[in-house]
Every structure is written in structure tokens, then in C-alpha cells.
Amino acid sequence: MDIVVNLFHGLLTALQPSNFGTMLIGLAVGVVAGALPGISFVNAMAMALPFTYLMTPLSAMVFLGGIYAGGVFGGSISSILINIPGTPASLPSCWDGFPMTRRGEAARALTLAIAASATGGLASALLLSFAAPPFARLALAFDQPEFFAATFLGLVSIIAIAKSTPWISLVSLFCGIVVGSVGVDPLYGLPRLTFGIRSLQNGINFVVVMIGLFALGEVLEMLGQRHHLQGATNKVRMRFPSVRELWALKGAAARGTGIGCMIGMIPGAGATVGAVIAYGVEKQASPRGAEFGTGVEAGLVAPEAAKNATTGAAMIPLLTLGIPGSAATAIMLAALVLHGVTPGPLLFAAQTDMLYTIFASLLLANLCMIGAGVVVARGFASLMRVPPTILGAFIVVLSVVGAFGVRNNIADVYICLSFGVIGYLMKRYDFPSAPLVLGVILGPLAERYFMTSLANYDNNLTIFFTRPISATILGFASLFVLWALIPDIKGKVLRLLSGRTRAR
């Protein structure tokens, strides 16, 4: 009951013009930054950090929260409209969102994505408001083996979601893991795979790889084939889905939201892992799983709900324990610390008003996102009437700026350009690029968690199977692999059998 009263007070404070306005500005900045290929919401939050120095701690958090919620959604606008993920977490939204655009259902795809994102975001903001302390204890029960298991689940779900044969996806995934391990080893500090090039010691950042493969690769492909993006969108019938259609997708949205909330709480995993796992699970759970990748609504709704469901959940360990689980929440922590506010259990006792205002404004942000999303999506849809050469030049500029902005490093721009060429070749020869990017993202994480787990548990490899949570997650992972491979193996066995009978 206390919580409801607190939340109501928070809502009143959050609706004050200054707070509400700050949140709306943050939301708009987030959606636009997220939608621009190359500029991720993490960039936007990092750039906004200096502005928060001038604000009160409350407005700073409301502002950053707005950018966070808006940015996580915004990435999907460019995924759906031009097949270029605006942020890494929007990668799965390309797989069924863009085919819908190709069919001339861009408006429908965008509306579904906005509705799903808002649902996921609202659910996790409610979870944060009502259940933060108990869930924080759950987050503490996770140790390195569990982090490893969750990351591993993300890795194997790539096999399950693959459009091409699992084996080719595995090759692509391993290439990504190799790219991700370039740089300085996280435990011993020794350079590897750097070939004596000093700037490679900084490692290859996954955002840089993603911008190169998808944004630059797509532009090269677009210009090379002279295929017009507008060709796809000319026949946009602005048909919005009916309430009944939305309701029919409640299962997919609920599964995505649940997965997103769980993954969001785990420090280190974040929106990308949540969206990828949600897509994989949905592909197995949906009756239309086999058609995924051709523009199935459930395949768009589930990852959309999941990635926004990670936002509120990721703030649980941040606010209750002072432990930031992702780059975005780490920036929020920096903003709080600079204002002399130390998040942790004491925050709940000492600054209840501020906390519940943050919760309330996160709820509001997810509601207002529907409006902001529609406005920005309209703007972007008209961008697609721009001739491809001009749009291409625009995307190249953004990509270079984005690659540089990740770490203010010029070497990253060269790496990004190289991956642009690689991305184009991969598209040409139909070699899947998504597993490679996920390998670059998840490979180093998995390695770090694996090594620290071993250090903490006497180099005992069985630890991953004897700890209950870790074992459960790994169990899911093996189910995933089996499920994905069964049709393949079954086909082979059948062919083998029929071959034998014929030979007789």
C-alpha cells in the first residue's frame, strides 16, 4: 500500500512541468539518436552526461531515463525501415521487421514495434517500482558461472535463430568470437592477435563492427545494386493494426517481456542479449516458427518487448545495490555519484521521494514513447523518399561519426570502413553477418565470465553444471540446440535411410 502512495506522490512530482518537460526532451533525444544508424543511445547518454552536471540529481536521472527508454526503442525504426539496426539491441528487429516493410507494411510493423516496446518498458518499470528490493536479492544470487551460462544461452540461441544452415551460422559466430578476442587479454593483460599493431591492442569494439557490417555494408549493397529503398515503401498503405490484431500477439509480447525482465537484471547481459534470446525462444514457441525471417509479426513483437523490458530491470541492481549492469546504467551511476548521491540500499530509506519520482517518470516515458515513436517514425519514413545516393552519403557520414564517437579513436573508423567492405561481400555471397556481430559482442563476455568462474571455484569445470541456476540456464541452452538441430538431423537420417532402401 505504501508503494502505491509513494508512487502516486512520485507521479505528481514527475508531472510537474519542469520534470515532465525534461523527460520529454530526453525521450525525443533518445528516439532520434537511437534511430540514427551509427549513433547509439549509449553515445547519446554519454554526450548528455555533461549537461546533467547543471541539473538537480532528480532531473538528471529523469533526463537520462528518458534517453534510455527512448533510445532502446528508437533503434528499431531504422531496423524496420532500412534494415540497418540503429543500436545493437535492435538487430533482431531487422529479421522480421524489414521483410514487413518490403511487403509494404512499414506502418504496421512500426506500430507493432512501438506497442510491444511500450508494453515491455511499462511492465519492467512496474517491476522496478513494486519489486525492486526482492529482485535485487535475486540479482545478487547470480555469480560468474550464472553470468557465463546466460551469455552462453545468448551464443547458442544464434544457432536456433539462424536463417541459413546452423553450420554456416556457427562458422560466422566463431569468426566473430575471434574478432572479439583481438586486443589485450582481460585477466593477464597480454596482447593477442594484434600482429604487433599498437592500436589493435585497444581491441575491436562491437559497435564499430556492427556499424561497418550493417550500415556501411547496406549502403554499398544499395548503391551497388541500385535498388531503391523507396521501391519498398512507395506502396505503403498506412494501415495500422487493429486492437484485435494487437491482442492476438499478447503471447509473444508476454514471453518477450518476461525474458527481458530476467535478462535485464543480470549485470552485464543487457538489451542485446535479451532481444536475441527472446527472438530465439519465440521462434521455438510460435506455431509459425518455421516462417520466421519472412516478416512474421510475433518475430518482431517478442524482441521488441524484450529489449525495452530490460530498461527498468537493469535499473534494479543499479538503484538497490549500486551495481550498474550495462553501459547505460553505468552512465546513470556516474551522474548520481557526481551529484553526491550514492545508490544502494540506503537510497530507499533516505531518498524515497526522489526514487519514486524516477520510477513514475520512467512509467510516463514508456507511455509517451508511443507518441514520440510515431512522430519520429513518420519523419524517418519521409527520409526514405530521399534518393538512395543522398541517403547513402548521409548514412556513411553518420557511420564514420558514430564509429569515432564510440571511443574517440580514429583507428576505430578504419576498422569500421574495413568491416563495411567485409559486410558488403558477406551480403553478396549470402554469408550471414548477424552471428558474427553477436560473436564479437558475446564472445569476450563469455570468456571473462568463464575465466573468473574458474578462478573462483578452484578451476573446477563442473561448477557450471552443479550450481542450480547456472545448470538450469545451460539446460535451456542445450534444449535450444537440440530443438534447432532436430529438423536438420532428422532430414539427414531420413535421406540416409531412403538412400539405403533405394540402394537395395
Q: Binding segment for another protein among 19-27, 244-252, 343-351, 491-499 (CB under 8 A)?
A: 343-351
d(CA 96, CA 80): 8
Considering the complex, state which of residue 185 and residue 291 has its C-beta at the smaller distance from another protein. 185
Q: Binding segment for another protein among 100-108, 191-199, 369-377, 435-443 (CB under 8 A)?
A: 191-199
Tally the C-alpha atoms within 13 A of residue 49's C-alpha that lie toward its C-beta. 18
| The C-alpha cell that represents 47 in the structure block | 554526450
d(CA 460, CA 375): 54
Burial of residue 368 (number of CB atoms within 10 Å: 0-12, 13-18, 19+): buried
Binders in 463-502 for another protein, by CB under 8 A = none
**Do the beta carbons of residue 33 and residue 41 sit within 8 Å?**
yes
Q: Binding segment for another protein among 180-188, 216-224, 284-292, 416-424 (CB under 8 A)?
A: 180-188
- What is the x/- site pattern for another protein, positions 283-322, by CB under 8 A? ----------------------------------x---xx
Regarding 337 and contact with another protein (CB under 8 A), the answer is yes
d(CA 479, CA 72): 29
Regarding 53 and contact with another protein (CB under 8 A), the answer is yes
Considering the complex, state which of residue 50 and residue 287 has its C-beta at the smaller distance from another protein. 50
Nearest Cα to 399, choosing from 221, 224, 209? 209
Q: Which of 29, 69, 306, 323 binds another protein (CB under 8 A)?
A: 323
Question: What is the DSSP annotation of 145-180?
Answer: HHHHHHHHHHHHHHHHH-SS-HHHHHHHHHHHHHHH
Considering the complex, state which of residue 139 and residue 275 has its C-beta at the smaller distance from another protein. 139
Provide, rounded to whole angstroms, the least separation between the CB of residue 404 and another protein.
Answer: 11
d(CA 209, CA 272): 15
Provide, rounded to whole angstroms, the least separation between the CB of residue 472 and another protein.
Answer: 17
Phi-psi category of 185—alpha, beta or left, where left has phi over 0 and alpha has psi -120 to 50?
beta
- What is the x/- site pattern for another protein, positions 118-157, by CB under 8 A? ---------------------xxxxxx--x----------
Regarding 409 and contact with another protein (CB under 8 A), the answer is yes
Q: Which residues lie closer than 8 Å to 336 by C-beta, 6 or more apart? A: 57, 60, 61, 342, 343
Binders in 422-461 for another protein, by CB under 8 A = 448, 452, 455-456, 458
d(CA 63, CA 96): 32
Provide, rounded to whole angstroms, the least separation between the CB of residue 292 and another protein.
Answer: 34
Indicate the DSSP class of residue 306.
H
- Interface residues with another protein (CB under 8 A)? 50, 53, 139-144, 147, 183-191, 198-199, 201-203, 267-268, 317, 321-325, 327, 330-331, 333-334, 337-338, 340, 342-346, 407-409, 411, 448, 452, 455-456, 458
